[in-house]
């Protein structure tokens, strides 16, 4: 097996993403020793049972001691608190990253909380499932998925080397790496991920509140399209609450555009403009073909199970 890219890794938050990263890094020998910190006692116990960390603790500062790479894998709104807890224990020259789904706000929280001796390189793996917790993670989660890094505006060699090393790490885990400005990341993800989740949460909520259609009918005939929305709408409530709070501006901008387009569709249906509907549905079919051609179609295998949240 190749030499470890990072001799010591610390992962803060051992849920779906944190535990998948540990499994993936172990599988390819990208890290040596692994320390895990998690706020949940149940998660720490499970992480110990699953052998995810050489050290498992509730103490973030203790977990990051001596680490060459620190990864924050906690909900977006918890990143600042976790980084503040880590600051005292960090060794100078450590690379610090995160996996949060929103980047501008998290990048700011990390920069504010961490000492200048750390190389802060925010990141986001575009990979996941609707499951949570350490049992839901699996080593193949990042295979053929994109990881977006949003480096700080620095061009000194030590920082650029730290960014490249982190990119090499993700590549070793099977991912493709892209670098992007954090504000642009948030706009792109508002379109490709955040708005679709909002629509799913809303449509499932609307169906649940309908009085003319029974819950039993909604379940029974769900294969008509609704079923796919229920999978997305089953995503972790804490994680998604935090995403909408942290990416408010980009989501509202995209939601405004979406609402205008929906109004136009509504008019087309009202006035019987079949050609408009047909033209849109033909264009969207092409986009679906593009997604398949880009190799991003099949969901990653889901070996996970729902964790009982304590
Ligand atoms: P998860 O399964 O819920 O795991 C998060 C873990 O972090 C939980 O065990 C949580 O404990 C713990 N935690 C919360 N605050 C903490 C703190 N201050 N210090 C230490 N541990 C803390 O979440 P996840 O799905 O892995 O998501 C983690 C991050 O990855 C989020 O920022 C999310 O936006 C991002 N992400 C998720 C996906 C996805 O599909 N799930 C995809 C890409 C990126 P408690 O349960 O006790 O709070």
What is the chain's pLDDT, residue by residue, as a tens digit (310 residues)? 568 999 999 999 999 999 999 999 999 999 999 999 999 999 999 999 999 999 999 999 999 999 999 999 999 999 999 999 999 999 999 999 999 999 999 999 999 999 999 999 999 999 999 899 999 999 999 999 999 999 999 999 999 999 999 999 999 999 999 999 999 999 999 999 999 999 999 999 999 888 888 888 988 888 888 999 999 999 999 999 999 999 999 999 999 999 999 999 999 999 999 999 999 999 999 999 998 888 887 654 433 333 333 2
Residues 6 or more apart in contact with residue 116 via CB below 8 angstroms: none
Question: pTM for the complete prediction?
Answer: 0.93
Going from the Cα of 77 to the center of ligand 1, the distance in angstroms, rounded, reads 10
Cβ of residue 47 lying under 6 Å from some atom of ligand 1 = no
Tell me: domain 184-293, CATH 1.10.3660.10, correct? Answer: yes
Look at the chain and count its residues.
Answer: 310
pLDDT for 218? 87
Going from the Cα of 101 to the center of ligand 1, the distance in angstroms, rounded, reads 10
State the residue for tokens 């480096």. 151
pLDDT for 298? 61
Going from the Cα of 260 to the center of ligand 1, the distance in angstroms, rounded, reads 34
Fold of 6-180: Rossmann fold (3.40.50)
Phi, psi of 103 (to 5 degrees): -110, -40
The continuous run of DSSP H or E covering 284 comes out as helix 274-293
Question: Rounded distance, CA 223 to CA 68, Å?
Answer: 48
Residues 6 or more apart in contact with residue 283 via CB below 8 angstroms: none
Going from the Cα of 12 to the center of ligand 1, the distance in angstroms, rounded, reads 9
Cβ of residue 62 lying under 6 Å from some atom of ligand 1 = no
Question: Rounded distance, CA 170 to CA 191, Å?
Answer: 24
Q: Does this chain's domain 6-180 share its CATH topology with 184-293?
A: no
pLDDT for 2? 63
> Could you identify the atom of ligand 1 that is nearest to the CA of residue 74?
7
Residues 6 or more apart in contact with residue 15 via CB below 8 angstroms: 38, 43, 73, 74, 132, 133, 134, 136, 137, 307
Cβ of residue 125 lying under 6 Å from some atom of ligand 1 = yes
Among protein residues, the one whose CA lies closest to atom 33 of ligand 1: 100
Q: Where are the domains of the chain?
A: 6-180, 184-293
Residues 6 or more apart in contact with residue 196 via CB below 8 angstroms: 232
pLDDT for 107? 98
pLDDT for 3? 84
pLDDT for 214? 86
Tell me, rounded to whole angstroms, the distance of Cα 34 from its chain centroid: 21
For every residue of 129-143, DSSP letters joined together read -S--SGGG--GGGGT
Going from the Cα of 290 to the center of ligand 1, the distance in angstroms, rounded, reads 31
């Amino acid at each position: 097996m190749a030499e470890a890219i990072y001799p010591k890794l610390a992962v803060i938050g051992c849920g779906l993403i944190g535990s998948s990263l540990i499994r993936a890094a172990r599988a390819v020998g990208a890290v040596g020793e692994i320390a895990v910190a998690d706020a949940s006692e149940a998660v720490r116990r499970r992480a110990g049972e699953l052998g995810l960390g050489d050290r498992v603790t509730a103490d973030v500062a203790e977990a990051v001691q001596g680490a060459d790479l620190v990864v924050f894998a906690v909900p977006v709104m918890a990143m600042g608190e976790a980084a503040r807890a880590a600051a005292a224990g960090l060794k100078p020259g450590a690379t610090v990253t995160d996996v949060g789904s929103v980047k501008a706000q998290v990048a700011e929280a990390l920069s504010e909380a961490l000492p200048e001796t750390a190389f802060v390189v925010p990141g986001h793996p575009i990979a996941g499932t609707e499951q949570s917790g350490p049992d839901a993670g699996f080593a193949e989660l990042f295979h053929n998925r994109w990881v977006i890094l949003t480096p700080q505006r620095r061009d000194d060699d030590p920082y650029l080397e730290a960014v490249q090393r982190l990119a090499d790490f993700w590549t070793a885990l099977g991912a493709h790496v892209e670098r992007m400005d954090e504000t642009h990341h948030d706009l792109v993800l508002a379109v490709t991920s955040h708005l679709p989740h909002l629509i799913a949460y809303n449509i499932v909520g609307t169906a649940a509140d309908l009085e003319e259609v029974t819950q039993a009918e909604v379940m029974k005939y769900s294969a008509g399209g609704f079923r796919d929305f229920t999978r997305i709408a089953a995503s972790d409530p804490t994680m998604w609450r935090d995403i909408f709070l942290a990416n408010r501006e980009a989501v509202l901008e995209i939601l405004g555009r979406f609402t205008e387009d929906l109004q136009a569709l509504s008019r087309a249906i009202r006035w019987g403009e079949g050609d408009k509907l047909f033209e849109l549905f033909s264009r969207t079919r092409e986009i679906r073909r593009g997604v398949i051609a880009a190799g991003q179609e099949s969901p990653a295998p889901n070996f996970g199970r729902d964790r009982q949240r304590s």
